[in-house]
Amino acid sequence: MRLSLLAFALCCAVSNAHASTTDAHVLADQVAEHVLTWRRDLHQYPELGNREFETARKVAEHLRALGMEVQTGVAHTGVVGILRGGKPGKRIALRADMDALPVTERSGLPFESKATTEYRGEQVGVMHACGHDAHTSILMGVAEALASVREDLPGEVMFIFQPAEEGPPDGEEGGAELMLKQGLFKDFTPEAVFGLHVFSTLNVGKIGYRGGPTMAASDRFRIVVKGRQAHGSSPWMGVDPIVAAADIVSTAQTIVSRRNDISRLPVVVTFGVFKGGVRYNIIPEEVELLGTIRTFDTGMREQVNQQLRDIATNVAAAHGATVQAEVPSETGYPVTANDQALTEQMRPSLVRAAGEGNVVAMPLVMGSEDFSLYANEVPGLFFFVGSTPADQDPRHAPSNHSPEFFLDEGALPLGTRALLQLSLDYLQQP
């Protein structure tokens, strides 16, 4: 009995000594100040997709300083670092996106973005309105933390700093699709890939997760309504594409409200651009409509696309107009589906990072993510970190993509801790 207790005590001592060097909470605390500094810097100097030149330079310099194998210029501006642990083990990949959005910031932060650029022929503001600055800085912190314990670390870690998650510029390739096309997982095939997203619908301190289908598939569409130009005082002398386009927008809402069984799975059809005309008293020649479709089922995806094409063609014809309906104009991201077994396996890690009461099951999310493409190659787990202040109702907080989007910086240490905990637990499992 005495020998058994002694053996047990020795085992506990060894286990605790090992935990002290690879404890996610301790490691996250050690890099917290750096993560905060990086986030504020990246937020103040955002860059659009495929143009993340300074962001990529800062990331690459950091990874090289940590002694990693670093590849730059992946999918234009992507950066990939490989950390090889001191012990044999598994391979994992961790991903963060780096790009900002064409949004003029109205947060009032002392490090608010003042950046501007040209986008689709117009001068626009540039803002990290979706939180990718947080994702990048968190992954930089995780890289530093894991590199600090590399001698005790089993296995290997790929750090993916990805450009153009919000989509590449018109006429260009980019994002996860191009990184994979260029052979990202060819020589280093991970056994699992992890990613996170700061999210306004959760309060700071909370982590949201879901097994299986999690985020929607997305498709873009472009509809050009062509009429006949005339003087605004004599609309009967022409064919008004503005009225026809407005009718298309209105009628298209029946796709969701009347034409699909949304009690089974949700569908969204959103018009984001309605552009036509240059002068108040001229009926223009044409109107351009741009938008997005979100679905969770392949059959519904095809059905909704066809319904929008039919509505555009027939409604325009009723007004005497014609259309060029590109639906979809570009195939977007597939459904982001978390591997069910991996999600169940790693949920305890999220709990260790945030606390049992702070890890919540998420409903289906209508946003889309090209993390889905990585998760189609290897088992993936994508989770959400709350970014809305604890004293604010997240239902009324400015959403991701809003010019008022506000990140409670308490999300940074939790995101760092969660990614570290997932990495350490997965790599240290037999």
Q: Residue 348: enclosing H or E segment and its boundaries? A: helix 340-354
Average pLDDT of the segment spanning 177-200: 98
8 or 420, higher pLDDT: 420
pLDDT in tens, 345-371: 999 999 999 998 999 999 999 999 999
Token digits of residue 346: 């790693």
| Alpha-carbon radius of gyration of the chain | 24
pLDDT at residue 332, rounded to an integer? 87
Cis peptide bond prior to 328, omega within 30° of 0: yes
Domains and CATH numbers, the chain: 23-213+335-428 (3.40.630.10), 217-331 (3.30.70.360)
What are residue 217's phi and psi, to 5 degrees? -75, 150
CA angle 351, 24, 96 (to 5 degrees): 85
pLDDT at residue 78, rounded to an integer? 98
What's the CA gap between 226 and 391, in Å, rounded?
Answer: 50
| 4 pLDDT tier (thresholds 50, 70, 90) | very low
Q: Which residues pair with 336 in a beta bridge?
A: 215
| 19 pLDDT tier (thresholds 50, 70, 90) | very low
What's the CA gap between 324 and 223, in Å, rounded?
Answer: 6
CA torsion through residues 120, 166, 132, 390, sign = positive
pLDDT at residue 166, rounded to an integer? 96
Q: Give me the active site residues, please.
A: 333, 409
What's the CA gap between 284 and 300, in Å, rounded?
Answer: 35
pLDDT at residue 12, rounded to an integer? 42
| 6 pLDDT tier (thresholds 50, 70, 90) | very low
pLDDT at residue 9, rounded to an integer? 38
Confidence (pTM): 0.90
Answer whether residue 145 shows pLDDT above 90: yes
- Burial level of 118, CB count in 10 A (0-12/13-18/19+)? exposed
pLDDT in tens, 402-419: 999 999 999 999 999 999
| 330 pLDDT tier (thresholds 50, 70, 90) | confident
pLDDT at residue 397, rounded to an integer? 97
pLDDT at residue 187, rounded to an integer? 96
| 170 pLDDT tier (thresholds 50, 70, 90) | confident
CA neighbor of 40 nearest in space, from 409, 414, 411, 419:
409
Percent with pLDDT over 70 in the chain: 95
What's the CA gap between 304 and 294, in Å, rounded?
Answer: 9
First vs last Cα of the chain: how many Å apart?
29
CA neighbor of 291 nearest in space, from 311, 263, 320, 264:
311
Answer whether residue 137 shows pLDDT above 50: yes
Q: Are strands 212-215 and 282-283 parallel, antiparallel or unpaired?
A: unpaired
CA neighbor of 211 nearest in space, from 349, 373, 342, 384:
342
pLDDT in tens, 368-409: 999 999 999 999 999 999 999 999 999 999 999 999 999 999
| 430 pLDDT tier (thresholds 50, 70, 90) | confident
pLDDT at residue 11, rounded to an integer? 42
pLDDT in tens, 71-103: 999 999 999 999 999 999 999 999 999 999 999
pLDDT at residue 113, rounded to an integer? 98
| 149 pLDDT tier (thresholds 50, 70, 90) | very high
| 3 pLDDT tier (thresholds 50, 70, 90) | very low
What's the CA gap between 121 and 117, in Å, rounded?
Answer: 10
